[in-house]
Homo-oligomer: A and B are copies of this chain.
């Protein structure tokens, strides 16, 4: 079941073009435009772009207008279609492609498209640097393979349309996965509500080239929060008692956040990942913040952590007589891959060139907001499954030397399109 495979040039070009233009959450203007341009050349039934692809009110953590405007302009300068860009204005990125092909099940595939605020390596051993498609948006990088995911999305669409598939295929190009804030608005868009079978896909994840993971579980439910403390400044030498000290509140919060009780029902996590406060050594600090996250092995465990965290943040503020505003910047539940769909992947993978090892199940051990989409489908009676496609990545995920073996994108296309056409022929 394994020969070498090779990614076709158009897909390679698309992937490299996306890699050259990494864009962060809700700023995927160029990326969306580039994908939509490609989709317009395909024979689709529907193409929902930007606001039509999302429940816009559910978007979290949207950057401020200046930030949006900067990326919007950058996309325009990079050559994105200005009319199309207008559709996305205000941070309504992403799209949903729908292709109806007669009777049969409705199958969904979700790929994510956003990049990370990580400067890309300039080292000669880093392929994108060596071959000239390194990030042109300095400080940002496709360091988690979403450029490959978007390409797989298009490739699977092409392959399915080129097969004897009967039914409806929907491909979801989702923005803002890295901040787990794009999954919910896409899950609530309505486009998932008639989906019978649903796949999401991820490349790499420390699985080598040739390996396929049929069903991934172990998603930690997660909530990103931002707590902003506001107090009162004062001269620290002359009038310390007149200050209301936010750094003290922040420190009390941090100490006690990590000390939220462990839970017998499974893993829990908390991290005060980003903190700051104050203006000068001799001023009682008026403003401070903690940006952090809680997680749990189940949605309930994450809620246990989240409830404690909210209370701790509020009472730490009260303790030091300062105000606090706690907001949610991203969120995702846990989810389970359905065995029926994983089985179909296993069967399909057996026929795909380049596949050398089939892993039935693996744990993610992290978080992913594809779980919102999976649960939406499962709650309405459908089945859902998260598939892993191995690739030899030189640097780890979220590091400056991450890269994918491009031919493994071909493997991803073949495995997913194989599973989807199988489902059309033999519903589970």
Chain A interface residues (CB < 8 Å from chain B): 220, 222, 224, 235-241, 243, 245, 247-248, 250-252, 254-256, 258-259, 261-265, 267-285, 288, 291-293, 295, 304, 308, 311-312, 314-316, 318-321, 329, 365-367
Contact = CB atoms under 8 A, between A and B. Distances in A.
Contacts of A245: 258, 261
A274 B269 contact: no
B248 A254 contact: yes
Contacts of A252: 251-252, 255-256, 319
Given A315-B319, A318-B318, A240 B263 contact: yes
A264 B267 contact: yes
Contacts of A318: 311, 314-315, 318
Contact of A278 (B265, B275, B280): B275
A282 B293 contact: yes
Contacts of A220: 237
A393 B181 CA distance: 50
12 contacts: A245-B258, A248-B255, A250-B254, A256-B319, A258-B258, A272-B285, A274-B277, A274-B279, A274-B281, A275-B288, A278-B291, A281-B293
In the A-B complex, the 6 residue pairs with the smallest Cβ-Cβ separation, listed nearest first, are A258-B259, A236-B271, A251-B254, A315-B319, A273-B281, A251-B251
A259 B268 CA distance: 12
Contacts of A274: 277-281, 285
A261 B248 CA distance: 10
Contacts of A237: 220, 222, 269, 293, 295, 365-367
Contacts of A258: 245, 248, 258-259, 261
A213 to B, nearest CB: 16
A197 to B, nearest CB: 28
Given A254-B247, A254-B251, A255-B248, A278 B273 contact: yes
Given A273-B236, A273-B278, A259 B259 contact: yes
